[in-house]
Amino acid sequence: MKATAGGKDTVGDMQRVVQSIPSSYTVWKDGTQAIAESNVKGGTDYTTGTVAVVIQNAIDALPAKGGSIAFREGDLTLASEVVCNKPVLIRGAGFGLTEPVPVQGVTTITFGNHTAFKITNRSVQIENLNLVGGGKALASGKALYFNGVGQPATNRVGWANCVRNIAITNCYDPLYLDGDIFELSLDHIYTKNCQRGFYADTDSINAYLNRVCVISCGTVAGAAADAFYVKNMNALFMDDCQAFGGDPDSNMDYGLHLVDIMAGNQVFKGIQMDGCNKAGLYVDMPASRLVQIEVLGSWFHAKENAVLIKNATDISIVGGMAYVIAGGTPDSIIKAEDSAVINISDVKVRQEVDAAILGIELHDTTQCSVFGNFVYNYYAPGAALNDHVIQETGTTCDWNKVIGNTVRWSAGEPVDLYGAYSMKLGNPHSKNQFVRPVIFNNDAGVEKGAISTGTAGNRMVLKFYDVTLTAWRYAYIDNGAWVIAVAEPT
């Protein structure tokens, strides 16, 4: 502010100060009345018995360039949706679960079988709120609905849109995206006891998700229940996101379900999909398509397949863990089917069921790399084990690489399982570029492929299937030279 020579402010200076204050309202409930009080002198105040109406009046009263709506601590109930149709900051007093112990200093907004906040404009920010629906069976109940359908390119929903510090419980769709969504940021979002988690059936999406946690989704009969469902995306980044479906109230099908996505840079880092009924990661393309996905240091825990990839090209899964747990009918832990250029490396692959399943399966794949993985086959006395922990299946596997993987069983298995329970590579159409034997050992550290042969000493034996002769062969080094034999060495 500029002062005159006499130390007084001019009228023009005061007007510039008033104009620099963002247009804003404070909303609270006083008895039966909802109040939206203008924070700018001369602004219009609104009072009514309906909370949604007073909030919408305040938003509509903001200038075209927007402003802010602040909620005081307390509980509010929406009888209808609030439409954010201009740049606006919606801010609560705080957020946090209010059960079983009430939390002070929070704003809780409840809603029924309708949308709470519908976002149809760019530059909308929502933060520090509890949003509570009327039940996960109410299929029209959406907490935050980003609707980009029919929006012009100059007003794409998502531009500078940011949602952070939000707890959403007890509704059908806590986070729902539709239409053209661009540059949307979701940070520190917690959802619990909702039918779905993050649901995006979009024309295209460019979004960043950080610390989005989905707890106990599902249980509505006949309805899909995915923690993160994304269709038609072309750039999605997920960092430190989690889904937990092991709760008795949960019936989660897939953790991260990617459907019919477009080529782009998709990066998933440090995500955890736990307790899924079907698959932790499911990449589902209707036909072969370049998808360009990077999955780094992530955990997938499911009853059918920990990871299932269909009709996709260019996916890299590096580090992390893939587990199959009891309760389903799995055929393999990690499976790539009708896909190409799939890299699976440095992953801990584990089965925790007493069943004969594959560790890593390449079904009709080309140019795939399986490198440096640790495949731990849980064994319980009396359980049947699959003949091959890493295997190509189908009829069109070409140019795959399987290098330097480790296969291990828990203690108690028969002592002669060094070859039959390793890997099977090759079929009449296979052209594998470079295959090296896996390392076999048990919990006692005994190398399953090392056997005594007198003067030749201990050596590693690779049992493989000769597709030309349709018979098993044994490859090993004897006195410095490779030997391929039709009989097992003694």
All structural domains of the chain with their residue ranges: 455-490
Looking at residue 414, its pLDDT comes to 35
Smallest CA-to-CA distance from 109 within 157, 63, 85, 141 is with 141
Looking at residue 440, its pLDDT comes to 39
Kindly report the three-state secondary structure assignment for every residue of 260-315: CCCCCCEEEECCEEEEECCEEEEEEEEEEEEEEEEEEEEEEEECCEEEEEEEEEEE
Q: What is the residue type of 367? A: Q
Contact present, 269 and 276 (Cβ < 8 Å): no
Looking at residue 464, its pLDDT comes to 63
pLDDT in tens, 409-463: 654 443 333 333 344 454 333 333 334 333 333 333 333 333 323 333 445 566 6
pLDDT in tens, 28-54: 999 999 999 998 877 789 999 999 999
Contact present, 363 and 331 (Cβ < 8 Å): no
Looking at residue 340, its pLDDT comes to 93
Which stretches of the chain drop beneath a pLDDT of 70?
1-22, 97-104, 149-159, 246-250, 263, 377-388, 408-469, 477, 479-480, 489-490
Smallest CA-to-CA distance from 440 within 366, 483, 376, 363 is with 376
Contact present, 177 and 201 (Cβ < 8 Å): yes
Smallest CA-to-CA distance from 76 within 101, 100, 58, 88 is with 58
Q: Give the bridge partners for 382, in sequence order.
A: none
Q: What is the residue type of 256? A: L
Give the Cα separation of 261 and 230 in Å (integer). Answer: 8
Looking at residue 421, its pLDDT comes to 36
Looking at residue 150, its pLDDT comes to 63
- Chain centroid offset of residue 421 CA: 32
Looking at residue 200, its pLDDT comes to 92
